[in-house]
Every structure is written in C-alpha cells, then in structure tokens.
Structure 1
Amino acid sequence: MSEKEIIRAEGYHVPVLLHESIEALVTNPDGIYLDCTFGGGGHSRHILEQLSPKGHLFSFDRDPDALANCSIKDDRFTFVRSNFRHLLHFMDYYGIEQVDGILADLGLSSHHLDDESRGFSFRFDAPLDMRMNSCGGKTAAQLIADSTQEELGAILANYGELKGSYRIATLLKRASDGGKLQTIQDLLTTVAPVIPERDKKSLAKLFQGLRIAVNDEIGALQQLLTDGTQLLRPEGRFVIITYHSLEDRPVKNFFRSGNISGERVTDHFGVPLTHISPLHSKPILPSAEEETRNPRSRSAKLRIGVKG
C-alpha cells in the first residue's frame, strides 16, 4: 500500500490484525478471495498486494460511504455494494463456483463510530438511526416503535446482555409511543433513570443491542458461515475477526461443530458432521504494540477455519 492509500484507509478505519489475517487468508496467489467487509479498504488493498495477475478479489460492503471511499483501480478487483449475506447470489451472478478464502472483519468501523450523523455512538447527538446501510431498512427508532415491549426486552437482553433489560424496554416503549424518541439525546434522556450518562459500559451495551438488531448482524453472520462453507473450495479458509462474545461464540462453535449452537452432531459412525475445522485451538490476538497503536483492536479475536 502506498502512503496515501494507508492514510486514506486509516482515516476511515484502521485495519485490525492486518498482517496476521492476510497471511492466513492468501494461500494461493492465483486464487479468488472475498473480503466481506470492505470498510476503508485496508484489508482489500493488502490482499491485492499478495495476488498474482491471475488472482481476483471481490469486496462486499452495504454502506454507501464505503463505495464513495473506494479508490481501488485494479482489474483484479470487484466491489459489490451489498450485505455479505448475499455472497452466494453475487458469486453466481459473476460465474464464480468456488473461492480460496473468505475474510470478514466484523463489527463497527472507526468511521461508523466517529461519524456524528449515523447514530452509532452516544458521544454525539444525531437521529436514532444505527443502520449500516443508510439507504434502506428500519432505523433504531423504527425498530423500537414496531417492537412489542417483550420483543424489545429480549433484544436488549440477548444482544446487549443488559441487566434490567425489560425495565429499559418499558421506558423506551413509553417514550416511543409518546413521540419522544427520535434522537440519540432522546434515548439517553429516556434511559437515564436506569443507565446514567456516566455509565459508559452499560450505554455501550444498550447501543450494541439495538445496532445488532437493526442490522440483523447475528443472522447475517450465520448465513455467511453456512453459505461461505458451500462456496469454499477444499482447503479454502475462513478468516474472521470478531470483537465481542456474541460474534466470537458462533464462529468458534461453527468451526468446531459445524453449527453456531456448538451442538456436536455426528453420522452413524460417530464422525462429526462439520466441513470446517479450526486451524488453531485458540484465537490470534493483537500484539501489545498494535493495542497501543490502535486501542480499538484490544477486544479483537482472529479465528481461522479450513474446509476439509
């Protein structure tokens, strides 16, 4: 990557575990690879550096900002403006039957957290949006309005892992039904009796729970694992970076047991019914140097799965 490209990519999102992930991913320079989360393009640019003239990279991102930020001009590169959950459809469209590797850097980019208008952070007042694709789908405000109190409580309990989730849901529904829940500040004011603004950890969990539900992140991850397994050629690799247990647990379970629940399913001979095996027993973590350089990398875990 040139110095200008590095500055451009890191201004949007600092790639996490960059060298470790690309070293694990690119096993065949002539191969076909997928970057499921283009973001600022840091991983994609590094993948292209490892490919031969015969190789090709397809990069997915549903965020219009990612497309606007994309400056890669390379015949070996195709940008797909879509959620990665649709990778089978698009690979069929492009006539691709198998790929050599699939990379996914899950979670929010630095761009999402630092963009004051998107509603992903409680640091800024903004519309209560939280959509990764700002051109379609329900906003967080609409999700709250359309959910029952019980459904909203379950979202906050399961995706935010929040204590008192049903009490918080009651406050949110009351404010939403009264037309008083349209902005981030409205949200903070509404939940203040349970989560004061100084309780940053609980606020982060609240925002995480709503964001995951708005974007159906766990459903998309499950579909990526299932459809990606079908698309990978033998010895092809999943390389997935997660940032919290709700992302990491399904990936770990899928690599070990073939399903996100972790239930061990075997055939009549006791052989596990899984097509993917973990390359390492434990995840790869950022170095101390990377954590110092990029504090947002501290919770990252890299897992590698190989198709048998």
Structure 2
Amino acid sequence: MDIELTKQVEHLEQYWRSVLKQVISVIHFIAERGFAFRGDNELVGSPRYGNFLGILELIAQYDDFLAQHIKTEVNRGKGHTKYLSSTILEEVISIMGEHLLREIISRVKKSKYFSVSLDYTLDAAHVDQLTLVLRYMEKDSPVERFATFMANKGHGAEDMFNALMEFLKTMTWPMETARDSFHTYEKGEQLSQSGSAYKAIESRQKCRNVRLNSLDYGHAEEVQLSPSEKYRTQTFLPIIDQFIYFLGQRLEAYKQILSKFSVFRHLQRLSSDELCNSAEQLIRSYPDDLDITFKEELCQFATFGNIFTDEEPTDISTELFL
C-alpha cells in the first residue's frame, strides 16, 4: 500500500512539475518581449483571452500532454488546480520579479559603484508611480537595469529621495560591508596582476629599555603582523573609515540645508506664524542677504500660491509650477 501511494505521489508531482515548466516558459517568453499577459476573459477557445492562454493553446496543438491538460482542467472553474489561472500567473510573475531583482542587486554589489535614475510615469490606470533604474559597470561595460516601481509619495526631490532610501534599506549598502571585504579586494588584485606580492621591508627591530619601562621588565613582545594584515590595518581600513566619515558629514550638511529651506515645499500647509518662524530662521542664517521684510514677502508669496491651488497640475512639483 505504501509503495502504491508513493508512486501516485511521484506521478502527480511529475505531472504538475511538467505543467509548471511550460507555464513558466510561456511567462518568460511574454515578459521578455513586453507583451500583455491577460485579455478580457480566461475561457479557452475565446478569441479574447490574451497572450498567456493563447500561446499555451498554440503549444497544445503540438503537445499531447498539454492538450489533454487543457481539455480536462482549464474550464472546470474555480476551486480546481490547473496552474493556468490569472492568480497563478500573477504569483509566478511576482516570484520571477523578486528573483530577478535579487540578481540585479547582487551584480550591483559586485560592481561596487552604481548610479540611479528616478522618474515618474503613469500606469494603465493613469496613476503616478516612481520608476527606478540602476546603472553600473559589468565586465568593463556599462549596464542599465530596471529595478522596480515604487508608490508615488510626491513629486518633490525630498519625496523621491525618501522613496529611494526606503528601497536601498532592502539591500545591504555597499559601504557597510566594505570594511569586511578586504580579502576580496586583495584576491582580485592578485588575480589581475599575476605574480604580485607584498614586498618585505627590512627594518631594525626596536628594543624596549627596561630602565624606562620598569613595570613590564622588558617581557612584552612586539606585535608581528603579516604584510597583508599590516596593509589592511594601516592603509585599507583608514581609507574606508575616512570615506564613510566624510559621506556622513556630507549627508548631515544636506539635512541642515533641507531643514532651512523645506518651508518652500510646504507653503500651502503652513500657517502665518509658522511661515514667520521659518523666515526668521532664514534671516538669522543669512543676515547679509535677507532683511526683516522677508517675513512679509514670504507670507504674501504663500497667499499668491494658494490662489492657483486648483490650477496646479499633477505632473510637476509646486515649486516648478509657481
């Protein structure tokens, strides 16, 4: 009995595995060419069921296995396993998309340096969404990859920056692991320059003066580092630490500038008192460029912007519109 049950399980497993292989191949074919997957319905035999079922039906004309599966399973309705429904289609697309994104991120990490391109585009429902494209070097050639769509959180630079940072949190930032990647860099350099090695430098060993260091009686030994470890601790790590430190300083400077000038992004939402307080902060920061009348000018400008609130388009920022 157990043997027969095991054979039945293996047969069913092989059956559905064969179905999924053909389904995934068709999804890959359609996605690679940017075609639409679905049509107006999911009924086999209908001329308006879309590319996904249409290609499967075309393959079934030359594949008896798939033809029999479609004949017996597809039009049975909901509640029956067939792996050809829109639900399975969307799940497979999601899994393939996550796998592809992980592969792109892994290649970006290997490249070490990359740039991003952010822009807004409309989907089929005319809803704004943020498009992220990554550019990096791969085998001495520039590569550009679409990464993901992100929800629209505003058209301002700050909104786009926040959306980008939320995405980057899902991937390990390259500089966070750079300090632990010394051996990777070292190995890559040795492979690129065959025969290269650390040169030993002869130097006179310093001896401790027992009379000047009477407490240890001269028994403390000098730490002996290998050439690799010496380069890592004296050159590699200091460079990486300084790089991270100065990047942090630059980010802090940007945050200070944002705290001073963010008032211009919220003119329509701030009250008169809040506008005056922000104006006074700018006057204190730039006394040679702004005088006391700047407070009144800022309030008048905010009132002017509120007049055209209903006319403001959705595809550009408030600052650019005004």
Question: TM-score higher than 0.5 here?
Answer: no
TM-score, reference length from structure 2: 0.24
Bigger share in helix = 2
Q: Which protein, 1 or 2, shows the higher relative CO under an 8 Å CA cutoff with sep ≥ 6?
A: 1
Larger radius of gyration: 2
Taking structure 1 as the reference length, the TM-score comes to 0.25
